[in-house]
Amino acid sequence: MLFNSFDFAIFLPIVFVLYWFVINRNLKFQNILLLVSSYYFYGSWNWHFLFLLIFSTGLDYFTGLKMADSPNQKIKKFWFWLSVCINLGFLGVFKYYNFFITSFAEALTQVGFQPHYTTLQIILPVGISFYTFHGLSYVIDIYNDRIKPERSFINYSVFVSFFPLLVAGPIERATHLLPQIIKKREFEYDKAVDGLRQILWGLFKKIVIADNCAGFVNQVFTDYQNQSASTLLLGAVFFAFQIYGDFSGYSDIALGTARLFGIELLRNFAFPYFSRDIAEFWRRWHISLSSWFRDYLYIPLGGSMGGVGMKIRNTFIIFLVSGFWHGANWTYIIWGAYNAFLFLPLMLTKKNRKNTDTIAEGKLFPGLRELSEVLITFILVVFGWIFFRSESVSDAFSYIKGIFNLNIFSMPQLSGYYGLLLSIIVLILVEWFQRFKQHGLEVSQMKSKTLRWVTYFCVILLLFFFGGKSETFIYFQF
Partner 1 sequence: MKKFLLNVLLFSLIFAIFAFFIDFAVNKGLSSMKDYRFQRWNEIKDGKINADILINGNSRAMSHFVPSEFDAVLNYKTYNLGFGGHPFNAQYLKYGYYINYNKKPQLLIQNVDFITLTDIFIIGHEREQILPFVYDDYLQQHLLHFGFSKIELYLPLIRYFGYQQVIKNGMFEFLTLKHYNNKMAVQGFIPEKGNWNPTELNKIENLEFSRDSFTVNLFDKYLSELKNDNIEVVLVNSPVYYKATEKLLDREVMNEFYKKIARKYNFTYLDYTSDSLCFDSTMFVMAVHLNEFGAKKFSHKLAIDLKKMELLKNK
Give the residue numbers marked as catalytic: 326
The residues, ordered by sequence, that sit 6+ positions from 469 with a Cβ below 8 Å of its Cβ are 211, 214, 215
For residue 401, the Cα-to-chain-centroid distance in whole angstroms is 29
Q: Which of 78, 172, 81, 176 is nearest to 132 (CA)?
A: 172
Nearer to partner 1 by C-beta: 369 or 447? 447
Nearer to partner 1 by C-beta: 365 or 453? 453
Query: Looking at this protein, which amino acid is placed at residue 91?
Result: L
Q: Which of 369, 383, 299, 395 is nearest to 341 (CA)?
A: 383
Asked if 303 and 292 touch (Cβ cutoff 8 Å), the reply is no
Closest separation in Å from C-beta 219 to partner 1: 16
Q: What is the DSSP letter of 93?
A: I
Asked if 167 and 476 touch (Cβ cutoff 8 Å), the reply is yes
CA distances (Å), 386 to each of 232, 275, 334, in order? Answer: 10, 19, 10
Tell me the CA end-to-end span of the chain in Å, nearest whole number.
16
Rounded to 5°, the CA angle 96-99-101 comes to: 105
Nearer to partner 1 by C-beta: 398 or 455? 455
Report the alpha-carbon distance of residue 42 to residue 163 in Å, rounded. 7
Nearer to partner 1 by C-beta: 139 or 208? 208
Nearer to partner 1 by C-beta: 9 or 85? 9
Burial class (CB in 10 A: 0-12, 13-18, 19+), 125: buried
Asked if 350 and 363 touch (Cβ cutoff 8 Å), the reply is no
Nearer to partner 1 by C-beta: 75 or 460? 460
Closest separation in Å from C-beta 465 to partner 1: 6
Asked if 217 and 238 touch (Cβ cutoff 8 Å), the reply is yes
Interface residue list for partner 1 (CB under 8 A)? 6, 10, 20-21, 187, 189, 192-193, 196, 211, 419, 453, 456-457, 460, 463-470
Nearer to partner 1 by C-beta: 64 or 468? 468
Asked if 200 and 459 touch (Cβ cutoff 8 Å), the reply is yes
3-state secondary structure of 106: helix
CA dihedral (202, 203, 207, 210) in degrees, to 10, reads 10
Nearer to partner 1 by C-beta: 165 or 260? 260
Report the alpha-carbon distance of residue 15 to residue 29 in Å, rounded. 12
CA distances (Å), 22 to each of 28, 35, 266, in order? Answer: 13, 16, 28
For residue 286, the Cα-to-chain-centroid distance in whole angstroms is 5
Closest separation in Å from C-beta 443 to partner 1: 14
Radius of gyration of the chain measured on its C-alpha atoms: 23
